[in-house]
C-alpha cells in the first residue's frame, strides 16, 4: 500500500549545555493511510523528537535536521515557515499528553477550534462555529452547543483531551500524531480516548502515529510497532508478530518486563542498566552495554559494528537491527533468573 508518511534517513541534532545531542540517527519508516503505527521506546529514544520534526515543531534556529520527511507527497524537511503554517493542521496534526499545551486558557474552546478552522477555510464565523459544535459532538462531548462557549478550565481532564482532539481534527488532517495522549488520564478515560481515536481514524481514514511507552496501549490500538532505542529504530513490524515473538533483544526485554503482555506470571525481569547518553553513544550496537545476548554473537561484533536495520522474515514485513542470527530461537531457549 502507498505510504502517506515517509521518513527516510532522518537525523536530528541539537546543542545542549553538555554538548551536541544526536537525538535521531538515521530513522526510516513508512506509514499508509488507515493504519496506526505505535512508536515505542524509553524517554530519550528519539520518539518524540522525530515526531515533532514531522510537524516542523522543532526549534528551527538551533536544530539541525537532515534526511527526508514526506507527508502526502510534500517534503517537510526545509519547508518554509509560511508553508508549514498551511501544512500543519490541514495535512498533519498532533495531540499531546497535556491539553494545556494546545488549549489557551483565556479563550473559549469554541473560539479556539473556530480560529483553527478559519485559518484553513474561507468561511463565516457562524459556519466555523457550527463546525466546532459538530466536532465537539463527534469527539463525544455532551451538549456541544452549550460546551462550545466554555473555557478550558470548565472542562474535566478527559473532556479537555477530547476538545484537543476535536481541534486537531477540525481540518481533517490525513496524518494524526498522538504523543502519549492518555498517560495523564485515569484508566477508564484512557480507554475511552483510545476508542475515540480508533473510531475517528475509521471515519476520517487517516494515518495515526501513536507514541507511547505503554505496551498495553500498543496491543489495544496499533497495527504496526516501531521500537526505538538510542535515536534509531531497532525493530519494526506488525503488532501481533512483535508482541508474539520479538526479534530484537531490546523488544524482548520490554515484553519480559511486563507480565500482562508477555503472559509471564511472577516477578518482572527488567532490562538491566539504563538508556544510553545521546551525547556519547556506545560503539557498535547501541544496546550492547545492556544486552544479555551479546555473547551469543561471535567475536567483538556487537561492540564494534553497528548492525543495519534488515528484513528478517520476508513474508511478514519485519525488520530488526541485531547481529543475532536466529533471535527467536535464542529467546525461546533462554531461561532467565527471575528476581526474588
Ligand atoms: Fe544484542 Fe548484539 Fe543484537 Fe546488539 S547486535 S542487540 S548487542 S545481540
Ligand atoms: Mg516524550
Domain positions in the chain: 100-172, 252-333
- 40 Cα to the center of ligand 2, angstroms: 10
Residue 338 is predicted with a pLDDT of: 47
Question: What atom in ligand 1 is closest to the CA of residue 292?
Answer: 1
Ligand nearest to the CA of 42: 2
Confidence class of residue 268 from pLDDT cuts 50, 70 and 90?
A: low
Mean pLDDT along residues 75-86: 94
Which residue's CA is minimally distant from atom 3 of ligand 1? 322
Which carries the bigger pLDDT value, residue 118 or residue 215? Answer: 118
265 pLDDT above the threshold of 70: no
- 226 Cα to the center of ligand 2, angstroms: 15
Confidence class of residue 314 from pLDDT cuts 50, 70 and 90?
A: low
Give whole-number Cα distances, 111 to 74, 115, 133, in Å.
30, 6, 11
Q: Which residues in 243-277 are b (16+ Cβ under 10 Å) and which e?
A: bebbbbbbbbbbbbebeebbebeeeebebeeebbe
- 249 Cα to the center of ligand 1, angstroms: 7
Residues with CB under 6 A from ligand 1: 249, 285, 287-288, 291, 293-294, 297, 302, 307, 322-324
Ligand nearest to the CA of 324: 1
Ligand nearest to the CA of 183: 2
Scan for cell 536466529, then name that residue: 326
CA nearest neighbour of 170 among 180, 162, 158: 162
Residue 306 is predicted with a pLDDT of: 95
Q: How many CB atoms lie within 10 A of CB 50?
A: 30
pTM to 2 decimal places: 0.91
Mean pLDDT along residues 185-194: 82
Give whole-number Cα distances, 101 to 56, 97, 179, 311, 326, in Å.
16, 9, 12, 39, 45
For the chain, the average pLDDT equals 89
- 306 Cα to the center of ligand 1, angstroms: 9
CB distance 25 to 278 below 8 Å: no
Residue 64 is predicted with a pLDDT of: 94
Question: Which of 249, 253, 283 should be mutated for ligand 1, with most atoms under 8 A from CB?
Answer: 249
**ipTM summary value:** 0.94
Q: How many CB atoms lie within 10 A of CB 36?
A: 22
Scan for cell 507527508, then name that residue: 71
What pLDDT digit, counting tens, does each position of 195-251 carry?
Answer: 888 888 888 899 999 998 888 889 889 999 999 999 999 999 999 999 988 999 999
Question: Which of 252, 293, 321 should be mutated for ligand 1, with most atoms under 8 A from CB?
Answer: 293
Which carries the bigger pLDDT value, residue 323 or residue 42? Answer: 323
Ligand nearest to the CA of 310: 1
Mean pLDDT along residues 44-66: 91
Mean pLDDT along residues 80-90: 93
Instruction: In whole angstroms, give the CA distance from residue 173 to residue 134.
Output: 16
- 211 Cα to the center of ligand 1, angstroms: 24
Confidence class of residue 264 from pLDDT cuts 50, 70 and 90?
A: low
279 pLDDT above the threshold of 70: yes
Q: How many CB atoms lie within 10 A of CB 129?
A: 20
Instruction: In whole angstroms, give the CA distance from residue 282 to residue 288.
Output: 8
Q: Which of 128-137, 159-168, 258-267 has the highest mean pLDDT?
A: 128-137
Instruction: In whole angstroms, give the CA distance from residue 287 to residue 294.
Output: 9
Confidence class of residue 35 from pLDDT cuts 50, 70 and 90?
A: very high
Question: Which of 234, 284, 291, 300 should be mutated for ligand 1, with most atoms under 8 A from CB?
Answer: 291
What pLDDT digit, counting tens, does each position of 133-184 carry?
Answer: 999 998 899 999 999 999 999 999 889 989 999 999 999 899 999 998 877 7
Beta strands across the sheet bearing 224-229: 92-95, 175-179, 207-212, 36-40, 224-229, 232-238, 319-320, 310-311
Confidence class of residue 326 from pLDDT cuts 50, 70 and 90?
A: confident
Mean pLDDT along residues 312-337: 81
Residue 336 is predicted with a pLDDT of: 57
CA nearest neighbour of 179 among 208, 221, 211: 211
Question: What atom in ligand 1 is closest to the CA of residue 303?
Answer: 7
Amino acid at each position: 500500500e502507498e505510504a502517506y508518511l515517509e521518513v527516510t534517513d532522518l537525523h536530528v541534532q541539537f546543542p545542549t549545555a553538555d554538548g551536541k545531542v544526536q537525538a535521531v540517527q538515521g530513522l526510516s519508516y513508512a506509514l499508509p493511510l488507515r493504519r496506526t503505527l505505535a512508536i515505542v521506546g524509553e524517554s530519550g529514544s528519539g520518539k518524540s523528537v522525530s515526531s515533532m520534526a514531522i510537524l516542523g515543531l522543532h526549534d528551527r534556529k538551533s536544530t539541525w535536521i537532515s534526511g527526508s520527511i514526506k507527508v502526502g507527497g510534500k517534503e517537510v524537511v526545509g519547508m518554509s515557515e509560511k508553508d508549514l503554517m498551511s501544512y500543519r493542521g490541514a495535512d498533519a496534526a498532533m495531540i499531546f499528553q497535556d491539553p494545556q499545551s494546545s488549549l489557551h486558557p483565556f479563550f473559549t474552546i469554541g473560539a479556539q477550534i473556530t480560529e483553527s478552522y478559519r485559518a484553513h477555510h474561507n468561511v463565516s464565523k457562524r459556519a466555523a462555529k457550527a463546525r466546532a459544535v459538530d466536532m465537539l459532538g463527534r469527539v463525544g462531548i455532551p451538549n456541544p452547543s452549550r460546551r462550545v462557549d466554555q473555557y478550558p478550565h470548565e472542562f474535566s481532564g478527559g473532556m479537555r483531551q477530547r476538545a484537543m482532539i476535536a481541534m486537531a481534527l477540525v481540518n481533517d488532517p490525513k496524518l494524526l500524531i498522538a504523543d502519549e495522549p492518555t498517560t495523564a488520564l485515569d484508566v477508564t478515560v484512557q480507554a475511552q480516548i483510545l476508542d475515540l481515536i480508533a473510531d475517528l481514524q475509521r471515519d476520517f481514514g487517516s494515518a495515526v502515529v501513536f507514541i507511547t511507552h505503554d505496551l498495553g496501549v500498543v496491543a489495544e490500538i496499533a497495527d504496526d510497532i516501531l521500537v526505538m532505542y538510542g535515536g534509531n529504530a531497532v525493530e519494526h513490524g506488525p503488532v501481533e508478530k512483535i508482541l508474539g515473538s520479538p526479534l530484537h533483544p531490546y523488544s524482548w526485554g520490554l515484553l519480559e518486563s511486563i507480565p500482562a503482555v508477555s503472559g509471564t506470571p511472577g516477578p518482572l525481569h527488567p532490562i538491566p542498566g539504563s538508556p544510553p547518553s545521546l551525547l556519547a553513544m556506545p560503539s557498535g550496537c547501541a544496546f550492547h552495554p545492556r544486552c544479555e545476548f551479546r555473547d551469543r554473537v561471535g567475536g567483538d561484533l556487537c561492540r564494534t559494528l553497528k548492525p543495519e536495520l534488515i528484513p528478517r522474515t520476508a513474508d511478514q514485513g519485519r525488520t530488526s537491527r541485531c547481529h543475532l542470527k536466529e533471535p527467536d530461537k535464542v529467546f525461546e531457549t533462554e531461561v532467565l533468573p527471575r528476581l526474588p
